[in-house]
Each structure stands twice: as C-alpha cells, then as structure tokens.
Amino acid sequence: MKEEIIAVSGNGEAIEQKDDLINLAEKRLHNLTKILNLSLRVTNHYDWVDQNGKPYLTSSGAEKIARLFGISWKIEKIEKVKTEDEKGEFYYYQATGVFSLGKDSVVAVGTRSSKDAFFAKVKDEWKPLSEIDETNIMKSSYSNCIVNGITRILGLRNLTWEQVKEGGIDVNQVAKIEYKKKGGQKISQAQAKRMFAIAKRKNMPPEVLKNTLKTAYGYEHSTDIEKDKYDDIIKWIENWQPPKPEEEFKIEEDKDVSKTNPEVSG
C-alpha cells in the first residue's frame, strides 16, 4: 500500500498567529485585573451590599467607576409592563440603556417589580398594589440598568468577596440583605428547559426573565425554583406581552433621576 503524504501549508504562520492571540489575551487579562483593582479602590463599603452571601455593587459605586473610566450612557426608555400570575395582577418596570467606553458599547436592561419584597412587603405581609410606591420601582429599574451596563462593559460581573476584600473594601462593614431560605422541592432540568423554551417563544428578553425571577420571586438561578411556584411562573411567562408604546417613558437627561434613585438590592 502506498503511503499518502499530505502537505500542510502555512503551518508556521498559523502558529505565529496563535502566539499573537495568546500575547493579546495575556495583555487583556492584565488590563482586566488592573480595571478590577482600580474599580475597587474608587469605591467604599457603602457602595457594596452583601446579598444572600454575594457581593452586589450599588448604583452609587457603579457611577464612581463610570467616572473613573469615562463611561457614558443614555437610557433609551423606561417601560411599564403589566402582567399576572396565579396570585393576581402585578407590573414591572424595564429600563433599557446604551453604555459606551471608547469604541465599545453594550445594551443593558434593568428591571424592578411590584412583587419585589423591598417595595411590596411590610413585616412579612404583602401590600396592596395601591399602597406600593410606583415611582420608586421605576427609579430602581433605572439604577439596576446603570449597574448592569457599567459592570458589563468593564467585565466586573460575578465577583467574589475575596476579590472585593483584596481591593481594600472592609467586608465586615458592608450592609447585608438576606432572603428567607426556601425549603421546597426544586424543579427538574427538563422543567427549567421548558420554562426557557416558552420564554423564547414569547420573545421575552433573557434579562427580563432573569431579573423578574430574582426580584419578584427571590430566585438567583433556575435551579432554585420550587415546584409549587413553577406553574405560577409559567403562567406569568405565557401572559407576558412586550411593552406597548403608550407605556414607554422617555428620559432626555439622566442626571436628576440618578440623584434620587433609591439604593436597593438586585
């Protein structure tokens, strides 16, 4: 049997290109580490919240970091979305903004719901919708959008307390927010996939689903969802509709609004 010789052209050039990519990646990693260190140095313990054991940057801290790096943003719109689940009607506000740093830009979404315990609960009892301060929910969706946009464009997401502590933040002085632990049986992977499939079919933005699960139901991840809440969430997704034009609120300038934003979790 004759041996077949296969010539591979340009092999040396391909290796050189990989070396260039590695060098570029190492440079970016170094820059990301510097960005993290500088970001932490410009904040203090008042700019962080311990939310169920995880560090959360508040809008005051995010705005300090934005000024440090020259990040600009524009909130394109704030929308009020009315929906319902098995417990009745509720609504949430969704803020959408564009964040820019040099030639890079990202689109970020922030949401807050009338089912958020921070706004809707008093001594473990839910307030009627008529007693909830809707303005604070709208402002908080704005703050949430700012935090999401600034941390996303800089790559400052999913930090650990070890990283925050190394940046000089006294973690012992950070305010804590703890949700009551849920002890119910969790949904299966198949149920989670079905939930995401329904949301995709409804053209629901992933940020809306994630933020609402967190603010309205207290779930950080789909694996946290309890079985007795699953049908409730599915019904909400199936009833969800994109915001109507008349429910959009245009914001020309963001300075005055950011000054009055309440510092809330999420």
Contacts for 222 with CB less than 8 Å, ≥ 6 apart:
187, 192, 195, 196, 213
Which pLDDT belongs to residue 265? 41
Over its length of 266 residues, how does the chain's per-residue pLDDT go in tens digits?
455 554 555 555 666 677 788 888 898 889 888 999 999 999 998 899 888 788 999 999 999 999 999 999 999 999 999 888 877 888 999 999 999 999 999 999 999 999 888 788 776 777 888 888 899 999 999 999 999 999 999 999 889 999 999 888 988 888 877 665 555 688 888 899 999 999 998 888 888 888 778 777 778 788 888 888 888 888 888 887 776 544 444 444 444 434 334 444 44
| DSSP letter (8 states) at residue 127 | P
Task: Measure Cα distances from 263 to 93, 136, 142, 232 in Å.
Answer: 16, 10, 11, 29
What proportions of the chain, in percent to the nearest 5, are helix, strand and coil? 50, 20, 30
Which pLDDT belongs to residue 252? 40
Rounded to an integer, what distance in angstroms lies between the CA atom of residue 67 and that of residue 75? 17
Which pLDDT belongs to residue 248? 43
User: Which residues on neighbouring strands pair with residue 97, listed in sequence order?
Assistant: 75, 108
Q: Within 13 Å of residue 98, how many CA atoms lie on the same side as its CB?
A: 8
Which pLDDT belongs to residue 182? 53
Which pLDDT belongs to residue 3? 54
Rounded to an integer, what distance in angstroms lies between the CA atom of residue 51 and that of residue 171? 12
Q: Is the pTM of this model over 0.75?
A: no
Which pLDDT belongs to residue 84? 84
Give the residue extent of every domain in the chain: 32-259
End-to-end CA distance of the chain: 68
Which pLDDT belongs to residue 63? 95
Rounded to an integer, what distance in angstroms lies between the CA atom of residue 66 and that of residue 154? 9
